[in-house]
Amino acid sequence: MHQNVALVKTTREAVGDNVDIMADAYMGWNLEHARRMLRMLAPYNMRWVEEPVISDDLHAYAELKALNIVNISGGEHEYTIHGFRDALDLKAFDIAQFDVNRVGGITAAKKIADMCEANDVLVIPHAGQMHNYHITLSSYAGPISEYFPKVPVEVGNELFWYILTASRSPRTASSI
């Protein structure tokens, strides 16, 4: 726990107070651990903690959100509109981070984004694929999108990089 806090502290000190920082626990904490971690992370003014507990434990998400220490994001591992309806009914997330690939495509994702908007829940789709940007740009609930720079192991952003590089110059994506 102290090592994680030290990493967040170092990050905050490096970027200052005017840059958002977020952490992804990737479902690695149980509820008690998450409660303690959120309290320890409170001084660092984080934008959100993503997936603090196992994705199916919506009651734990709701409890962590109710602490009102740091925004709680989740939904990357939710696969249905019904699951998001349950999460919204329980007030489990401050930020919904569905993955368009996993929830049934753009139509299903747009329906989820509309439900989130109606419930005042922000939408920041998981990952940086182009289809996630379409959802963000089509919803008042979507203030930003996750962004992943081009790295050798990145998979799924090829179209994104092709469009960005094609709009800047005639170079191909492989020349960046």
Active site residues: 126
Contact 125, 132 (CB under 8 A): yes
Candidates 84, 19, 74, 31; CA nearest to 49 is: 74
How far, CA to CA in Å, does 80 sit from each of 73, 76, 87, 95, 108?
17, 11, 11, 16, 8
Measured CA to CA, the distance from residue 14 to residue 32 in angstroms comes to 29
* Nearest partner of 85 among 56, 59, 124, 112, judged by Cα: 112
Taking residue 52's Cβ as centre, other Cβ atoms within 10 Å add up to 29
